[in-house]
Structure 1
Amino acid sequence: MKKKKLLLWLFCATLVLMPVLAGCSSNAPENKAGTENPGNYEKLTFDNYGRKVVIEAMPQKVLTLGPNCSELFVALGLVDKVIGNSLDNHSRGPLPEYADDYAKIPELNYSSATREAVISSGADFIYGIDWQFGSEGLDIAELEEYGMKVYMNSATTFEEAYQEIADIGKIFHIEDKAAAFIADQKERIAAVEKKVSNQEPVKVLVYDSGGEGVYTCGGTNFETLLIEKAGGKNIFDDITDKQWAMVSYEEVLKRDPDIIVVHDYDVPSLKEKIKSIKNDPGLSRLDCVKNEMFIPITLESVLPGVRMAYSVELLAKGFYPDLFK
């Protein structure tokens, strides 16, 4: 009988002590990058191309408006923060190494983000390419009234592009990962520059679309910098008052490009663009067209962000194939 009483007492005591023991043995939750307690978040202030952006808490629901913006968040391991993206109509899909994570991002809008979709999204942070905002796009002041912090992707130099990446790293407390990504981009680009340094720069025409002329990029466009790093020269780099311009076919013939870089996105298709170039009575006279010196490149690859080194490498291989055999 005494033995039975002892066992009963031990059983009851164990039931009483189990919650206490569980509490003592459990570890406190770790503060992983991007999940810090809001009370521990130090307020950050950024100069985003003349706009003051103040971040007081870790963003949890992010919109990435532009495929280059979305890919950057994937590359930095922040895909779990993204609740929607836009402008996949200007994309031919992510790079293979980003494909699985990119597929996890819900599509807010296939083309440009709409006011209704953004406002109803519940987002607290937006990282978007600059032409998604402004007179023909989203009103930043209104978005901020809805509690959305807006950081624009608007780099026109490598230094500005690297600064954007560093700022994203600070906002999400992944500074080391952002710094490592920047270092890798710089190293790869420097390797290409060294390889093509003794070559005569090839003359490059950027062909985005046709019509009354050729819609191309100017000297202040980020794509011009990519071309230069790859050992080329944008034949319209003297257009400095705007990033994009319509130029005449006569002027293209006069400047006689060695290579045509053709933008690849949904409409018109790459095949249709090259066919138009070949069938044009003026452009068809160019030696580069006769010799089919075309370099296709997806539009998101010439936007500032995650693909800088990738694009410089791709262009350089097209400009100087013998160097990269």
Structure 2
Amino acid sequence: MKKRWIGGFIMIALIGLLLAGCGTADQETGETEEAEGTGSQEETGTAEEAATDFEALTLDNYGREVTVTEKPTKVLTLGPNTTELFIALGLTDYVIGNSLKNHSRGPLPEYEEEYAKIPELTYGSATREAVTTSGADFIYGIDWEFGGEGLDVDELAGLGMTTYMNSATSLEEMYQEIRDIGKIFEIEEAAEAYVADQEARIAAVEETISGEEPVKVLVYDSGGDGVFTAGGTNFETLLIEYAGGRNVFDDITDQQWTTVSYEEVLARDPDVIVVHDYDSPSLEQKIEDIKNDPALSQLEAVQNERFVAITLESVLPGNRMAYTVETLAQGFYPNLFN
């Protein structure tokens, strides 16, 4: 009897310990779950606060007031120059589509990997349907994509898409675009650093060519009934000047792009011909056409093969200002840079 009693007592004690252990485990689990729940609430609160921290901006976009009330998350970059600028500023992940790859020979080598991550909205100009169904909340596009037969800014605004146009005609205006993007995407320090780098590189070129006589430059975009070229208010004309050249048609100030006769080209006798490289016809074909043209072949610049090739996106307002000034200056004054 005594042994049975002792054995029963031990069994009861063991059961009690097991039950106590389960209760402790349940209590600890409950405390852990409660702690995790508290942490999730705190994280959610932080995210909500971050979303509401954005301070509304009102910007002057070439006489058009642009108001941004929230930091954009889905961006369309319309134009290879605008796409590459976003990459250069570290904003690739915001871009959900781009356009005008037909005006491009591809990104600069340092941007190739990031550029490949961005989906193509349209190969050529952005269509209304592609843009309005994209789900974008912000558009940064070159000005010729809008108005006329292009996109309607007011319609896009009605669909919740804020439009900021790329339309610079001076370095200061392009720097302002970069600074505005810095404000919109809260990367003001990066934007300012990028501007400073561009300024320093261009200043270095100006110092190298100081004292040199300006080179007379013809911009050759394409041929046909005449030469399709850049006028005086074109951004490319400005870059040519910083590189030590002078656009021979800089007196045409009512049009950024225009067609001039072959006779006018002969009369202005350029020293160098800047040839645009993009899509079709190829750069090689354009140079061959110039050499075989009855009028242009008379130019000393053609006979001496004074051609400077430049991709079209490089002469559009964007991130390549310093790169283009450097490239053109090397072509205008090879003796100073080689």
The TM-score with structure 2 as length reference comes to 0.91
Asked if structure 2 preserves the Cα contact closer than 8 Å seen for 1:63 and 1:85, the reply is yes
- Identical-pair percentage: 65
Q: Are 1:53 and 2:74 an aligned pair?
A: no
Partner amino acid for 2:127? T
Q: Say which SS state the counterpart of residue 140 (structure 2) adopts.
A: strand
Output the amino acid matched with 2:87.
Answer: V
Q: CA shift at 1:322, angstroms?
A: 1.7
Aligned length: 323
Q: Which residue of 1 aligns with 2:75?
A: 62
Aligned to 1:269: 282
Change in 2 beyond 3 A, CA 1:29/1:260: farther
2:9 corresponds in structure 1 to: none
In structure 1, the gaps of 5 or more residues are: none
Greater helix content: 2
TM-fit CA distance, 1:23: 5.0
Q: Which residue of 2 aligns with 1:301?
A: 314
Q: CA deviation at 1:4?
A: 3.4
Q: Does 2:211 correspond to 1:231?
A: no
* Partners of 2:220 and 2:273 in 1: CA distance: 7
Moved segments of 4+, more than 6 Å? 24-27, 29-32
Q: 1:139-192, CA deviations, whole angstroms, 9 ceiling, x for partnerless residues?
A: 111111111111000000111000001001101111111101011000100000
Amino acid at match of 1:162: Y
Q: How do residues 211-222 of structure 1 correspond to structure 2 at under 5 angstroms?
A: 211-222=224-235
User: Which residue of 1 is the match for residue 186 of structure 2?
Assistant: 173
Q: Give the superposition deviation at 1:6.
A: 4.2
RMSD: 1.8
Offset at residue 287 of structure 1 (A): 1.3
Partner of 2:36: 22
Following superposition, the deviation at residue 10 of structure 1 comes to 2.9
**Counterparts of 1:173-252 in structure 2 under 5 Å?**
173-252=186-265
Q: In 1, Cα distance between the equivalents of 2:46 and 2:139? A: 24
Report how far residue 254 of structure 1 moved.
1.2
Name the CA distance, whole Å, in 1 between partners of 2:148 and 2:17.
Answer: 85
Q: Distance in 2 between matches of 1:28 and 1:56?
A: 23
Which of residues 168, 179, 186 in structure 2 aligns to 1:155? 168
1:216-241 per-position Cα deviation (integer Å, ceiling 9, x unaligned) = 10111000110111111111111111
Match of 1:97 in 2: 110
Larger Rg: 2
Q: Structure 2: how far apart are the matches of 1:195 and 1:145?
A: 50
The aligned amino acid for 2:250 is: D
Instruction: Confirm or deny: 8 A CA contact 1:36 1:58 kept in the other structure.
Output: no
Q: Distance in 2 between matches of 1:135 and 1:151?
A: 17
Cα drift, residue 302 of structure 1:
0.2
- Cross-structure match for 1:44: 57
Q: TM-score, normalised by structure 1?
A: 0.95
Query: For 1:36 and 1:258, how far apart are their aligned partners in 2?
Result: 60
Counterpart among 17, 26, 30 of residue 12 in structure 1: 26
Q: Is the partner of 2:118 in helix, strand or coil?
A: coil
Partner amino acid, structure 2, of 1:163? Q
